[in-house]
Amino acid sequence: RIVDQPRERVIVDQWGRERVVTGPTEVDYVVGDRIPATVQLSTFPERTVREVPAMGGYRYMTVNNRVLVIDPVSNTVVREIDR
């Protein structure tokens, strides 16, 4: 569940814990773009990694109501997840 707030998102994971995930909302990232090192990336929930093990090596961020998969080594957008 995602709750909209100005310039940030509150993610409530499957255990009911909340995490704030921020991203620069004035930028429209696409696959192949590099994300600034200052942007906080989140790890995928354990349940997601169990269902899709390949996601364990990636991080994600939510920006402009979009979920972007990020390669944490290069800080590059590798995929957008459809909701």
Which pTM value belongs to this model?
0.67
pLDDT the model gives residue 72: 94
- Could you tell me the sign of the dihedral formed by the alpha carbons of 26, 39, 54, 13, in that order? negative
Taking residues 31-54, what's their average pLDDT? 90
Question: Nearest-CA neighbor of 19 among 36, 37, 41?
Answer: 41
pLDDT the model gives residue 34: 95
pLDDT the model gives residue 81: 86
Which H or E element spans position 46?
Answer: helix 46-51
Taking residues 44-62, what's their average pLDDT? 90
Of the chain, the percentage scoring pLDDT greater than 90 comes to: 34
